[in-house]
Amino acid sequence: MTVRVEQFNCSPLIQDALFDCGRSAPRSIRVPSSGLSPNAFSMNAPATLSPSSLMLAIESSCDETAAAVVTKDLRILSSVVASQNELHERFGGVVPEIASRAHVQRILPVIDDAIRKAGIQLRDISVIGVVTQPGLVGSLLVGLTAAKTLALVLDKPLVAVNHIEGHIYACRLAAGRDIFPSIGLVVSGGHTNLYHCRSATQFDLIGATIDDAAGEAFDKVASVLGLPYPGGPMIEKVAQTGNSQAFRFPRTFIKEDRLDFSFSGVKTSVLYEANGQPGAHSQPPALTEARIADIAASFQAAVIDVLVTKCRQALRRFDCKTLCVGGGVAANSAFRQALEELARRDRIELHLSPREYCTDNAAMAAVGWELYAEGRLAPLDQDVVPGLVRKSESESAASTT
């Protein structure tokens, strides 16, 4: 089978690079039509790499289309993120079909932009890293398909990256040195997971939310309070003028030994405080600006209290002195302050993801360099692993013992 490159709707820079990538038949690629073994398409590793070798990293697991160029010695030459917030805002959350369609439209321009901003040519890339799990199936497939196509056409090796490991790796990028072993907390829109990170690529899940993720709770509470999506930054803003002691919202599992989380209780409590309880005789007071600020501040304090307490419990249980925190909620200033306070009090080495790399981005997929060093290359028939990471019932039970 011969695939003609000009049939694809490539953006100009990628098209030029594909036509000029040193192949003997520049406008066509020979693809065997049958008899493929599972690893038949795995591309060879380049012979020599140097600290300035380049990885093109691609991320499309949820609602951000992102690409970055990161050197082997972990300098971020470019990081481009096309957020879809404006598309999902009116639904109050991510709509998977809208997300994947937007990724299709944006993936090539975003890669173009990352290449251009890094000041390189596509053919200068040594390795292609792509997030393949966890996330939305349609969204992941767009990034993976782009990455596989480039790997095939440019004859470059492919590395499949775990998005959660990437969120923690954002801390490693900022630290500029090894930060493992450590306890890692990922607090995003889809996950609230605690890990014992034995190395950059060996993560043991030691705690997780059993229902909503913390970021999801921020988004839902914001919606109850009439604040726009995404709710986290808005709750943070509004909470600045509120009284965090005004309401005592539940702090689920805080006194228990287990390292799991649950945020559906605090979300429902906010709903009742704002709109009243079903069947109640009296109506709650009107949602004035001051009341919204008090509810937002009290909600934020409850979530932070739980997150920080569970980090402390995990550090003690694993006798670990290093804590890494990443994911969108880690951009929250009050949360960062509370973590810094914990670090001071308990003499913990704290690594926070830089704010710009808290929400989804492709630079954090540079964890692919670690996989590459371990020889863990992905075949070109690599698939995605969609869904959310949650602990099983039995794991949750075991973690309390």
Alpha-carbon distance of 174 to 353, in angstroms, equals 7
Query: Phi and psi (nearest 5°) for 193?
Result: -125, 140
Q: Please state the closest distance from residue 53 (CB atom) to ligand ADP, in A.
A: 28
Is residue 183 within a helix (H) or strand (E), and if so which, with residue range? strand 182-187
User: What is the β-pairing status of strands 125-133 and 54-59?
Assistant: parallel
**What are the helix (H) ranges across 176-288?**
214-224, 231-239, 264-275
Which residue, 189 or 379, has its beta carbon nearer to ligand ADP? 189
Which residue, 230 or 368, has its beta carbon nearer to ligand ADP? 230
Which residue, 84 or 252, has its beta carbon nearer to ligand ADP? 84
Which residue, 192 or 313, has its beta carbon nearer to Mg ion? 192
Which residue, 55 or 99, has its beta carbon nearer to Mg ion? 99
138 binds, among ligand ADP, Mg ion, none (CB under 5 to 8 A by kind): none
Contact 178, 318 (CB under 8 A): no
Which residue, 135 or 379, has its beta carbon nearer to ligand ADP? 135
Q: Please state the closest distance from residue 226 (CB atom) to ligand ADP, in A.
A: 15
Give Cα 141 distance to the centre of its chain.
Answer: 16
Q: Please state the closest distance from residue 178 (CB atom) to ligand ADP, in A.
A: 23
Alpha-carbon distance of 221 to 178, in angstroms, equals 37
How large is the angle between the packed helices 289-317 and 214-224, nearest 10 degrees? 170
Cα radius of gyration (the chain): 23
233 binds, among ligand ADP, Mg ion, none (CB under 5 to 8 A by kind): ligand ADP
Task: Please give the structure tokens belonging to residue 284.
Answer: 């709650």
273 binds, among ligand ADP, Mg ion, none (CB under 5 to 8 A by kind): none
Which residue, 53 or 209, has its beta carbon nearer to ligand ADP? 209
Residues that bind Mg ion (CB under 5 A): 62-63, 360
212 binds, among ligand ADP, Mg ion, none (CB under 5 to 8 A by kind): none
Alpha-carbon distance of 17 to 121, in angstroms, equals 7
329 binds, among Mg ion, ligand ADP, none (CB under 5 to 8 A by kind): ligand ADP
What letter would DSSP give residue 283?
Answer: P
Residues 6+ apart with CB under 8 A from 341: none
Tell me the CA end-to-end span of the chain in Å, nearest whole number: 58
Contact 132, 385 (CB under 8 A): yes
Query: Phi and psi (nearest 5°) for 270?
Result: -65, -40
Query: Phi and psi (nearest 5°) for 32?
Result: -60, 140
Which residue, 165 or 236, has its beta carbon nearer to ligand ADP? 236
219 binds, among ligand ADP, Mg ion, none (CB under 5 to 8 A by kind): ligand ADP
**What are the helix (H) ranges across 128-162?**
137-154
Residues 6+ apart with CB under 8 A from 82: 64, 65, 66, 106, 109, 110
Residues that bind ligand ADP (CB under 6 A): 62-63, 188-190, 215-216, 218-219, 230-233, 236, 327-329, 331-332, 359-360
231 binds, among Mg ion, ligand ADP, none (CB under 5 to 8 A by kind): ligand ADP
Which residue, 63 or 260, has its beta carbon nearer to Mg ion? 63
Q: Please state the closest distance from residue 25 (CB atom) to Mg ion, in A.
A: 40
218 binds, among ligand ADP, Mg ion, none (CB under 5 to 8 A by kind): ligand ADP
Q: Please state the closest distance from residue 327 (CB atom) to ligand ADP, in A.
A: 5
Q: Please state the closest distance from residue 347 (CB atom) to ligand ADP, in A.
A: 27
Q: Please state the closest distance from residue 155 (CB atom) to ligand ADP, in A.
A: 31
CA angle 102, 71, 55 (to 5 degrees): 45
236 binds, among Mg ion, ligand ADP, none (CB under 5 to 8 A by kind): ligand ADP
Q: Please state the closest distance from residue 248 (CB atom) to ligand ADP, in A.
A: 20
Q: Please state the closest distance from residue 358 (CB atom) to ligand ADP, in A.
A: 6
